[in-house]
């Protein structure tokens, strides 16, 4: 669908509008804080202090951000193709299965630096498979990918409960989780990285998958803007008709894009499963797949926007835990509201401030309005 | 026989929220506004209903509060997707998150019971209604239990939900409003050319969606259960959406789809851990996943093709 609005200069399109949207989202979240009888300013102070006030806080913030970078990239890749992948949650969940299979099989065979790439492949493969089915159904049978990916989230949840209370559970245990992996299937922590900057910390869950997430951000950038496949993906996302006319195979591009998206979502499982908990647990994804939607929308589907957006959400996640110590009325569930508001204002209402901003800019500097700005649509 | 009656009785109970949400989605989607946010509106309605019923001791005030909140969220969806032509899916997803988060935060802040609302009793809850003659005919073989156990003995919202099925059919296919509603979902430009406001028509559809999801929410927390528990919709909004597609956006098939999904849910509770001849024990997770698997198979066009309203998901641009 073409945008009914004129183009804005790039700095306004990629900088100002997301900032305005974000500001409004947080202002409304502040109202919710007021509604439960706490001070929004104090909450914000606590949030920032909790997230960045200590070495451990930063470690946790980046640990959460790692998961969100993966899922954010997953959603973004699909967005570029005009597809809305709501199934990141499920793809990440079954991705954990790939990690667990590798770790449980090889944790006493190989050292971690062999297990790590194997686990990457395992998680990516299963995540990609989980996204492939809805993709094929969309491409070949015309079923709506949004509905199918939602359905696959529920199916993934049922499947994982079945596996974790049944086949994957050790015989002598009641808890729905696998056995703890041996040390050789643990990812190295990155505490030393924070200590290099002078922070003294006991232990944080920040691990090597953070680096992988950053590498993937670069890989996604190269893929989308520097390869033929990326060009085809963007072409299809911009105009399926034009893509078809140019000889780009519709089914092929949908399936490949969704598999890349699913693989990225699947890799998210490395962070909690291999990096922190060292076993596969029930519900280890804890909504990270959905946060990815907000992250991708806020980052405008560009890796350079997704990484800071993910860190912002990591900050909310970590800081939210700190707030709840001081303000019992505000728990970590606050992030779910903020996430919803960000999706609303940065996603569904992204055009709300555009006309007035255009009017303001046009009156200030008429020449700046001629520039081209890329436009993409989800779903 | 007793087991079957109980099972069917339970089926009716668990189908009602699905049915109300499904009909809610039907109005919106027939008008060309996709609504992924049924789940969130239902959840917010359930919370508002239970909170207001607890505060005022009246189920009817609870119901009104549920409707108000759900309509408000529906209007947010309308504002984003009709007025500002935002992405309807994105807007629906946003509403689901806002509802999920705020019901937990507000519930904890107001009632301090771990996200629950105080339990409701007496007038604060919708009581069951015994239809006339239910006790008298209960001894009649076959028809007696069907009337007295399955049909009679539900709260008023159950009867409202089933009344809404023929009503929706009538409203959609036998009234001017219904004709226009269906037209705006298929070809908004034609409706516009006829001098009818696409925007206002779609807003009305979205408001009806809000009302019905509010009733669905109130049913969950004020009639079926005695209070709100966090995340109590547990995917019902999505199953309702699935049922809507399953029913090809038609009211009467929607009822049967919801009853089918309700039957699956009721039997998964009933037959949990039972051994079956030949197949052995069916994992409860498989039965839980069945509605979703069925929907996927249906969407793939293996059980007849589901064709959504043509203009669904597309914002209407009057002029360029």
Identify all chain B residues contacting A340, using CB atoms and an 8 Å cutoff: 93-101
ipTM: 0.86
Contact B109 A293 (CB under 8 A): no
In chain B, residues with a C-beta closer than 8 Å to the C-beta of A148 are 296, 299
Q: Please compute the mean of the pLDDT values over residues A45-68 and round it to a whole number.
A: 87
Does the beta-carbon distance from A137 to B300 stay under 8 Å?
yes
Looking at CATH, the fold of the domain delimited by B2-299 is given as ABC transporter involved in vitamin B12 uptake, BtuC (1.10.3470)
Q: Does B319 touch chain A (CB under 8 A)?
A: no
Domain that holds residue A143: 14-364
Domain presence at residue A34: yes
* Residue A120 forms part of a structural domain: yes
At B129, which helix (H) or strand (E)?
strand B128-129
Which positions in chain B touch A329 (Cβ < 8 Å)? Answer: 105, 108-109
> On the CB side of B78, how many CA atoms lie within 13 Å of its CA?
23
First to last CA, chain B: 65
Residues B236-264 pLDDT 10s: 888 898 888 888 889 999 999 899 888 88
What single-letter DSSP state applies at residue A81? T
Both tokens assigned to B72: 């408000």
Name chain B contacts of A1, Cβ cutoff 8 Å: 314-315
In this prediction, residue B214 carries a pLDDT of: 94
Read off the pLDDT band of B272 (50, 70, 90): low
In a domain, residue A327? The reply is: yes
Residue of B nearest to A291 (CA): B97
Tell me: the pLDDT tens digits for A271-319? 999 988 888 988 898 888 888 988 998 888 899 989 999 998 898 888 8
The full DSSP string for B234-286 is: TTHHHHHHHHHHHTTT-HHHHHHHHHHHHHHHHHHHHTTT-EETTTEEPPHHH
- Residue A72 falls within a domain, yes or no? yes
A99 within 8 A of A112, measured Cβ to Cβ: no
- Is position A3 within any domain? no
Most confident of A46-55, A188-197, B110-119: A46-55
State which residue of chain B sits closest to A294, comparing Cα positions: B94
Residue A372 in any domain: the answer is no
Residues of chain B positioned with their CB less than 8 A from the CB of A37: 109
pLDDT of A2 above 50:
no
User: With an 8 Å Cβ cutoff, are B289 and A333 in contact?
Assistant: no
Give me the DSSP letters along B168-196: HHHHHHHSHHHHHHHHHHH-HHHHHHTT-
Provide CB contacts within 8 A for A299, sequence distance 6+: A72, A76, A305, A306, A307, A308, A309, A310
| pLDDT attached to residue A271 | 93
Query: Is A6 domain-assigned?
Result: no
Between A227 and A331, the more confident residue is A227
Which of A338, A348, A352, A375 to probe by mutation at the B interface, max B CB count within 10 Å? Answer: A348
Tell me: pLDDT of A19 over 70: yes
Please report whether residue A375 resides in a domain. Answer: no
User: Do B99 and B73 contact (CB within 8 A), yes or no?
Assistant: yes
Task: Quote the tokens at residue B240.
Answer: 């309702």
Q: Where are the domains of chain B?
A: 2-299
Q: Which of A223-237, B60-74, B220-234 has the lowest mean pLDDT?
A: B220-234
State whether residue B80 sits within 8 Å of chain A by CB.
yes
Q: What is the mean pLDDT of residues A330-350?
A: 82
Nearest by CB: B301 against A36, A141, A150: A141
- Count how many Cα atoms sit within 13 Å of the Cα of residue A250 in the half-sphere of its side chain: 13
Contacts with A151 from chain B: Cβ below 8 Å: 238, 242, 292-293, 295-296, 299
CATH assignment of the domain containing A113: 1.10.3470
**Count of domains forming chain A:** 1
């Amino acid at each position: 669908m073409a945008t009914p609005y004129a183009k804005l200069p790039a700095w306004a399109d990629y900088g100002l509008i997301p900032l305005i949207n974000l500001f409004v989202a947080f202002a409304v979240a502040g109202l919710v804080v007021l509604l439960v009888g706490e001070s929004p300013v104090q909450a914000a102070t606590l949030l920032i202090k909790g997230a960045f006030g200590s070495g451990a806080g930063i470690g946790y913030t980046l640990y959460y951000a790692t998961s969100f970078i993966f899922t954010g990239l997953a959603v973004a890749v699909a967005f570029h193709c005009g597809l809305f992948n709501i199934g990141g949650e499920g793809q990440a969940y079954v991705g954990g299965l790939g990690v667990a299979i590798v770790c449980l099989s090889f944790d006493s065979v190989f050292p971690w630096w062999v297990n790590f790439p194997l686990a990457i492949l395992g998680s990516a493969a299963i995540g990609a498979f989980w996204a492939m089915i809805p993709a094929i159904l969309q491409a070949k049978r015309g079923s709506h990918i949004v509905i199918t990916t939602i359905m696959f989230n529920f199916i993934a949840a049922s499947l994982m409960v079945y596996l974790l209370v049944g086949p994957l559970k050790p015989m002598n245990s009641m808890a729905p989780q696998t056995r703890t992996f041996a040390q050789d299937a643990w990812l190295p922590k990155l505490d030393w990285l924070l200590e290099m900057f002078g922070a003294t910390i006991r232990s944080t869950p920040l691990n090597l998958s953070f680096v992988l997430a950053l590498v993937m951000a670069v890989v996604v950038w190269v893929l989308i803007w520097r390869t033929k496949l990326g060009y085809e993906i963007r072409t299809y996302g911009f105009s399926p008709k034009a893509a078809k006319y140019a000889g780009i195979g519709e089914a092929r591009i949908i399936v490949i894009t969704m598999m890349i998206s699913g693989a990225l979502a699947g890799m998210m499982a490395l962070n909690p499963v291999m990096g922190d908990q060292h076993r596969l647990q029930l519900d280890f994804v804890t909504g990270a797949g959905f946060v990815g939607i907000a992250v991708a929308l806020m980052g405008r589907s560009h890796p350079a926007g997704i990484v800071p957006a993910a860190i912002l959400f990591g900050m909310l996640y970590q800081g939210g835990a700190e707030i709840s110590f001081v303000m019992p009325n505000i728990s970590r569930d606050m992030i779910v509201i903020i996430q919803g508001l960000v999706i609303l204002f940065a996603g569904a209402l992204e055009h709300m401030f555009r006309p007035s901003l255009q009017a303001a800019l046009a009156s200030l500097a008429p020449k700046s309005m001629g520039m081209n700005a890329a436009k993409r649509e989800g779903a | 026989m007793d087991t079957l009656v109980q099972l069917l009785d339970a089926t009716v109970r668990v189908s009602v929220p699905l049915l109300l949400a499904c009909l809610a989605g039907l109005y919106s989607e027939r008008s060309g506004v996709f609504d992924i946010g049924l789940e969130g509106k239902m959840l917010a309605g359930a919370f508002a209903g239970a909170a207001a019923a607890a505060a005022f001791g009246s189920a009817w005030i609870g119901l009104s509060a549920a409707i108000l909140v759900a309509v408000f969220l529906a209007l947010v969806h309308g504002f984003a997707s009709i007025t500002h032509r935002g992405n309807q899916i994105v807007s629906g997803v946003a509403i689901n998150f806002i509802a999920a988060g705020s019901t937990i935060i507000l519930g904890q802040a107001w009632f301090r019971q771990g996200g629950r609302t105080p339990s409701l009793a007496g007038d604060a809850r919708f009581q069951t209604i015994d239809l006339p003659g239910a006790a008298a005919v209960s001894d009649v073989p076959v028809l007696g239990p069907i009337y007295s156990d399955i049909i009679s003995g539900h709260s008023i919202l159950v009867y409202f939900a089933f009344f809404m099925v023929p009503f929706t059919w009538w409203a959609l296919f036998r009234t001017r409003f219904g004709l226009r509603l269906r037209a705006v979902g298929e070809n908004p430009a034609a409706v516009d050319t006829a001098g009818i406001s696409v925007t206002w028509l779609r807003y009305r559809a979205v408001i009806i969606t809000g009302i019905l999801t509010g009733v669905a929410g109130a049913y969950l927390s004020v009639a079926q259960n005695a209070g709100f528990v966090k995340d109590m919709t547990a995917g019902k909004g999505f199953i309702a959406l699935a049922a809507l597609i399953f029913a090809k956006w038609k009211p009467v098939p929607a009822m049967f789809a919801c009853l089918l999904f309700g039957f699956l849910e009721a039997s998964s509770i009933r037959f949990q851990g039972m051994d079956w001849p030949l197949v052995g024990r069916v994992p409860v997770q498989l039965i839980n996943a069945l509605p979703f698997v069925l929907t996927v198979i249906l969407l793939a066009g293996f059980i007849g093709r589901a064709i959504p309203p043509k203009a669904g998901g597309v914002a209407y641009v009057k002029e360029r």
